[in-house]
């Protein structure tokens, strides 16, 4: 009987958390179904529960995107080893018509991204909506090239924007400093 009660309490608390209302300024309000590099379908809200560092890129990019990814990897390296699982890293494709899950997977492997990283693709409308929610801009130009913002965004555990910075190796420094400070003082979920 005791195990039954514990089981019911656990399922109740899980359903309460799953049904938690996200703040109105959460980027997870964008919703929609997204595909991961592992060909799984997820909702953006499934990223809630821990801070996320997110950027919009595309795998065919040879200019800004590799720098954005390296900058985010630098942030990950700055997080203490025992805290790395407490922050997620998300790359969202700006070219979902060519960045299929297998393409994203190959990109993740080529860049040496660990399982703490999620690479996502949505339909063009979802990507545009997410880009707008992140204050990003992009335009598909020609031959698969995309002119785009190189912003990296730190989200709190509810998907609210905490900080944005340039995705360059020097521009990312404020995010590195904020994460170091937040992990040392445990305040990453409060608004800056």
Which residue pairs from 71-76 have beta carbons closer than 8 angstroms and sit at least 24 positions apart in sequence?
A: 71/152, 71/167, 71/168, 71/169, 71/171, 71/172, 72/152, 72/167, 72/172, 73/111, 73/112, 73/113, 74/169, 74/172, 74/176, 75/152, 75/172, 75/175, 75/176, 75/179, 76/116
pLDDT band at 149 (very low <50, low <70, confident <90, very high): confident
Range of the structural domain that residue 82 is part of: 22-185
Beta bridge partners of 179: none
Q: Is the pLDDT of residue 5 over 70?
A: no
Report the DSSP pairing between strands 33-36 and 41-43: antiparallel
Contact call for residues 138 and 131 (beta carbons, < 8 A)? yes
Full-model pTM: 0.83
Q: Give the pLDDT mean for 48-57.
A: 94
d(CA 180, CA 182): 6
Percent of the chain's residues with pLDDT above 70:
83
CA-wise closest residue to 161 among 70, 19, 39, 30: 30
Specify the pLDDT at position 34. 97
Domain count, the chain: 1
> Which residues 6+ apart lie within 8 Å of 155 measured at CB?
27, 47, 51, 52, 53, 54, 161, 162
In the block, residue with structure tokens 């990897």: 73
Contact indicator for 120, 27 with CB cutoff of 8 Å: no
Whether residue 188 is predicted with pLDDT greater than 70 in this model: the reply is no
Domain presence at residue 5: no
Question: Is the separation of the CB atoms in 179 and 154 below 8 Å?
Answer: yes
Residue 11 belongs to some domain of the structure: no
The average pLDDT across 46-52 equals 95
User: Residue 53: inside a domain, yes or no?
Assistant: yes
Q: Which is higher by pLDDT, 106 or 78?
A: 106
Residue 79's pLDDT band, with cuts at 50, 70 and 90, is confident
Name the band, by pLDDT with cuts 50, 70 and 90, for residue 185: low
Q: List the CATH number of the domain containing 49.
A: 3.40.30.10
Q: What is the mean pLDDT of the chain?
A: 83
| Structural domain includes residue 1 | no
Return all residues near 189 (Cβ < 8 A) that are at least 6 apart. 51, 156, 157, 158
Residue 39 CB contacts under 8 Å (≥ 6 apart), including other chains: 101, 102
């Amino acid at each position: 009987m005791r195990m039954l009660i514990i089981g019911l309490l656990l399922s109740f608390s899980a359903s309460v958390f799953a049904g938690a209302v996200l703040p109105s300024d959460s980027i997870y309000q964008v919703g929609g179904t997204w595909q991961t590099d592992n060909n799984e379908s997820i909702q953006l809200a499934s990223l809630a529960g821990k801070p996320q560092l997110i950027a919009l890129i595309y795998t065919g990019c040879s200019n800004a995107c590799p720098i954005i990814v390296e900058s985010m990897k630098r942030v990950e390296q700055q997080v203490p080893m025992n805290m790395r699982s407490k922050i997620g890293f998300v790359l969202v494709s700006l070219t979902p018509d060519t960045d299929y899950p297998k393409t994203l997977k190959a990109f993740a492997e080529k860049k040496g991204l660990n399982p703490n990283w999620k690479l996502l693709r949505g339909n063009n409308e979802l990507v545009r909506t997410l880009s707008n929610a992140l204050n990003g801009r992009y335009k598909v130009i020609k031959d698969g090239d995309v002119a785009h913002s190189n912003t990296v965004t730190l989200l709190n555990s509810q998907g609210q924007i905490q900080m944005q910075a340039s995705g360059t190796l020097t521009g990312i420094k404020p995010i590195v400093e904020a994460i170091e400070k937040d992990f040392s003082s445990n305040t990453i979920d409060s608004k800056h």
